[in-house]
């Protein structure tokens, strides 16, 4: 049974790139009794370590950061100018509710301003304002009022959303599934392995600043120096009216053959496919030409790391109304648990030899 309360909390907690502390604190609360040690890198990424019977290191990463904004300036009317953090589309912003977190932890709600259609030409109505040119209205009449609320340049701005169980109760809509659903996968894997002996030493990491350049993946990879690294992230669900493809909600874990940042290690890919077949775990193969995940940095640590990305299909990625399917979450957890339980030196050697 999927833990809906955990999924709700992990998706709704604030944590844009560079301001992830609330998210890592929440992740820690879920995994601290499942691991032997917790470490951090200097950027704030959290790493839970479950000791194994060997020195073989397996690293699982899910990035805890979400896209958002930072206060760039406050004009004389008290309107908040913003700096996007991560990739936003202007179409997603007008009338969206946001929360500015002040230095002392207060949350000030505001709405992205939108211009009514009355008296506008068709061209003006259809014009999309760039995110960097947008502004937030916090309901004040002057710059001083905004300053009196404690708002300063550099304060993080996080989308405000709700956790919604959809018409099909296995479909869940919330903000930050990119990549809090990956974080939730790691939490659930560590829960299911709690108290069990495993051969590899397992590292479960919530990496920071993925949305602005895979930065936490680089530092965590350098810390851990894993033998195997698996990034868990979201991918595009190709079941929309405007886009048809093989990867769909509810069809299982997506094994990423390649994306814009990495090509999967063939030995690891084949081993995971075999486990899916053996354990009757629903899976699909994903291949995209653009975009990337933590794998883009993890694969390049030192002399190279055996690596793949496992993805959960999602609709409306990089918006604060994203939809995922719990069966895909479950399939991803099942595959990773089966892999960790199965992994021994013989399997590792066989995967290595696939490249030699």
Q: Tokens 């990549």: give the residue.
A: 179
Does residue 165 sit within a domain? no
Domain identity same for 123 and 217: no
Domain identity same for 153 and 274: no
Buried b (16+ CB within 10 A) or exposed e, 12-34: bbbbbbbbbeebbebbeebbeeb
According to DSSP, the residues that pair with 58 across neighbouring strands are 202, 228
Provide the domain count of the chain: 2
Q: Tokens 């009022």: give the residue.
A: 145
The mean pLDDT values, 10 residues at a time, for the chain of 356 residues are 95 98 98 98 98 98 98 97 94 92 97 82 80 95 97 97 98 98 98 98 98 97 98 95 90 96 97 98 93 95 97 96 98 98 98 95
Q: Which of 66, 210, 211, 297 is catalytic?
A: 210
What is the length of the chain? 356
Domain identity same for 205 and 286: yes
Q: Which of 124, 157, 190 is the last residue of a domain?
A: 157
pLDDT value of position 128: 81
How many angstroms separate the CA atoms of 152 and 242, rounded? 41
CATH number of domain containing 35: 3.40.630.10
How many angstroms separate the CA atoms of 70 and 218, rounded? 23
Does residue 150 sit within a domain? yes
Q: Which of 128, 157, 186 is the last residue of a domain?
A: 157
pLDDT value of position 121: 78
Domain identity same for 103 and 244: no
CB count within 10 Å of CB 142 equals 13
How many angstroms separate the CA atoms of 302 and 292, rounded? 20
pLDDT value of position 123: 79
Domain identity same for 213 and 118: no
Domain identity same for 98 and 220: no
Is 210 an annotated catalytic residue? Answer: yes
First to last CA, the chain: 42
Domain identity same for 193 and 229: yes
Does residue 169 sit within a domain? no
CATH number of domain containing 144: 2.40.30.40
Does residue 166 sit within a domain? no
Domain identity same for 221 and 250: yes
Domain identity same for 298 and 288: yes
Does residue 167 sit within a domain? no
Q: Which of 130, 157, 184 is the last residue of a domain?
A: 157
Does residue 187 sit within a domain? yes
Does residue 259 sit within a domain? yes
Query: What range defines the domain where residue 83 resides?
Result: 68-157
Domain identity same for 223 and 299: yes
Domain identity same for 22 and 88: no
Domain identity same for 190 and 292: yes
Does residue 162 sit within a domain? no
How many angstroms separate the CA atoms of 105 and 260, rounded? 37
């Amino acid at each position: 049974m999927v833990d809906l309360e955990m999924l709700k909390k992990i998706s709704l907690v604030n944590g844009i790139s560079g301001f992830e502390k609330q998210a890592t604190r929440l992740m820690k609360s879920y995994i601290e009794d499942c691991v032997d040690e917790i470490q951090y890198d200097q950027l704030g990424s959290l790493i839970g370590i479950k000791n194994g019977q060997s020195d073989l290191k397996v690293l699982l990463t899910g990035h805890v950061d979400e896209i958002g904004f930072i206060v760039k300036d406050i004009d004389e009317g008290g309107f908040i100018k913003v700096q996007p953090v991560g990739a936003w589309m202007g179409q997603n912003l007008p009338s969206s509710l946001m929360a500015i977190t002040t230095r002392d932890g207060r949350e000030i709600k505001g709405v992205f301003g939108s211009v009514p259609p009355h008296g506008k030409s068709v061209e003006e109505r259809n014009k999309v304002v760039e995110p960097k040119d947008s502004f937030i209205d916090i309901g004040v009449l002057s710059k001083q009022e905004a300053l009196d609320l404690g708002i300063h340049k550099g304060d993080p701005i996080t989308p405000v959303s709700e956790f919604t169980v959809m018409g099909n109760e296995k479909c869940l809509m919330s903000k930050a599934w990119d990549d809090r659903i990956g974080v939730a996968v790691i939490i659930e894997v560590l829960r299911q392995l709690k108290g069990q002996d495993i051969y590899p030493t397992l590292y479960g990491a919530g990496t920071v600043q993925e949305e602005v350049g895979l930065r936490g993946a680089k530092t965590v990879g350098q810390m851990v120096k894993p033998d195997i690294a698996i990034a868990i992230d979201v991918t595009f669900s190709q079941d929309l009216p405007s886009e048809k493809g093989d990867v769909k909600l509810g069809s299982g874990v997506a094994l990423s053959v390649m994306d814009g940042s990495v090509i999967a290690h063939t030995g690891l890919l084949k081993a995971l496919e075999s486990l899916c077949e053996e354990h009757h775990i629903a899976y699909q193969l994903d291949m995209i030409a653009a975009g990337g995940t933590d794998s883009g940095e993890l694969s390049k640590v030192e002399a190279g790391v055996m690596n793949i990305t496992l993805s959960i299909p999602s609709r409306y990625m990089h918006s604060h109304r994203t939809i995922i399917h719990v069966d895909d979450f479950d399939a991803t957890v099942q595959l990773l648990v089966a892999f960790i339980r199965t992994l021994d030196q013989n399997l590792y050697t066989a995967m290595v030899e696939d490249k030699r």
